[in-house]
Amino acid sequence: MTTRIDSRFAALKAEGRSALVTFVMAGDPGYETSLAILKALPDAGADVIELGMPFSDPMADGPPIQAAGLRALKGGQTLRKTLDLVAAFRQGDRDTPIVLMGYYNPIYIYGVDRFLKDALDAGVDGLIVVDLPPEEDAELCLPALRAGLNFIRLATPTTDDRRLPTVLGNTSGFVYYVSVTGITGVATPDFDAVATAVARIKRHTELPVAVGFGVKTTEHARAVAEGADGVVVGSALVEAVRTTLDADGRATEKTVSTVTELVSSLAAGVRAARAIAAE
């Protein structure tokens, strides 16, 4: 079964360029603003959207994404409302792939079978669940794959050649390479090391490799895109939301446009890498 994720990466490969994968937190700072941001991302240049599922104990996330999740939870965001966001987005966009990213606890509480059915009905294409290792694939990964969802796994700088085949075993859609050790949005990646790591992963899989953690600027996006199939940006986008909020943490007239302007700039960096590669 070919998913929207498979189709989008295949189309971009035919174009000769990398994907811009944008992460935003569902419900941050409120449902309506979150939906407005979501709807605006494709026209701003996002090729794939990762939508964060807010959770109270996000152990892999740095301060910006933690804060975004807490803002969303404070605003009443739930997993059901996150699926509603996707369904609302799908009313106007049937093509842009959406990946839900987060932790297993909310899915477990919701109920795996119910969650998978509701996610498919809403228009979700894939899942990234950062606290379920391959040894726990029977919990969610295998049921998700059987249901027709991509299950995207993370590889890190500490994932050596002995561990990598296990990580890749049931991975589909793309591989998410974490370019730095530690939490999101803190360090800037070593771009030469990233290119080397991507090449190593590609020796083990035919899947596209997208690189995230620490990509903040147009220049970062261009540097990563020169060696990867996708560039993932998250912390910079949720920080763009935060910097526009009023004193009570509510959205302002600048919130959506500030995010989309940054996405457009990042997209320009990704597309510039194609131009460099073509010379």
Alpha-carbon gap, residue 257 to 241, rounded angstroms: 10
- Give the residue ranges of the chain where pLDDT is below 50: 183-186
Q: Provide the token pair at 223.
A: 């540097």
Residue 138: Cβ within 10 Å count: 8
Residue tagged active-site, from 6, 28, 47, 61: 61
State the pTM of this model. 0.94
Alpha-carbon gap, residue 127 to 141, rounded angstroms: 9
Residue tagged active-site, from 47, 50, 226, 239: 50
Active site residue 50: yes
Domains and CATH numbers, the chain: 4-271 (3.20.20.70)
Q: Can you say whether the dihedral through the CA atoms of 261, 267, 272, 275 is positive or negative?
A: negative
Alpha-carbon gap, residue 58 to 72, rounded angstroms: 13
**Cis peptide leading into residue 97 (ω within 30°):** no
Pair 13, 208: CB distance under 8 Å: yes
> Each residue of 61-109: pLDDT tens digit?
888 999 999 999 999 999 999 999 999 999 999 999 999 999 999 999 9
The pLDDT value given to residue 185 = 47
- Helix crossing, 31-44 with 79-90: angle to 10°? 40
Residue type, 118: D
Active site residue 47: no
Least Cα distance to 128 among 226, 187, 225, 60 occurs for: 60
